[in-house]
Amino acid sequence: MNIDYKKLKLKHWFEDENGNIVDEDDPKACFYRHCFPLEFHEFLDEYCYHPQNPIVKFLCRKSRALDKWLSKGKDKTFKQILDCTTTYGSGSDCIVAMVNSGDFTLEQAIWVYANSCERCMNVLCYKYLDGKDGYAEFSDEWKKANTECEFCKGL
């Protein structure tokens, strides 16, 4: 293998039709590429009755009761309502340590880290980076952070 990290460092670049990096003003430029290897991508679909008629749709948005009444017996459909990305690059060291501990697979570590609130990220860093970063669960700093996610809700 001959790995050139030039494209990875650029994050955004223009290419000609042969995949060569070219300037934006180059007449051969025909692709604009973006590369984010440390990005977590998630979608959220609403799963409910979606009326086709625009007037009914408008009225259903205005009245939850009407929407509930009209949707009885109707098929539920998917409608994408959120498409979000978040980077977990700042947690690379922690994620690697989480995987190396044997507690998580790579997929699990990325998912857990990317979905953690501030205080949970700090707890993970503290635990898996041997106290070099972050803070312990239930410490004073943990209580002060006042963030909450599904991993620490109710603790």
Q: CB of residue 112 vs Zn ion: minimum separation in angstroms?
A: 10
Q: Whose Cβ is closer to Zn ion: residue 97's or residue 145's?
A: 145
CA distance 126 to 146: 17
33 token code pair:
């590429």
Convert 50-88 to b/e letters by CB count within 10 Å (16 or more is b).
ebeeeeeeeebeeeeeebeeeeeeeeeeeeeeeeeeeeb
Q: CB of residue 137 vs Zn ion: minimum separation in angstroms?
A: 10
Q: Whose Cβ is closer to Zn ion: residue 99's or residue 117's?
A: 117
Q: Which of 46, 140, 33, 34 is nearest to 85 (CA)?
A: 34
Q: CB of residue 127 vs Zn ion: minimum separation in angstroms?
A: 13
Q: Whose Cβ is closer to Zn ion: residue 111's or residue 151's?
A: 151
CA distance 96 to 79: 35
Q: CB of residue 97 vs Zn ion: minimum separation in angstroms?
A: 18
Q: Whose Cβ is closer to Zn ion: residue 14's or residue 88's?
A: 88
Binding site for Zn ion (CB under 5 A): 117, 120, 149, 151-152
Task: Name 67's Cβ contacts closer than 8 Å, sequence gap at least 6.
Answer: 49, 60, 61
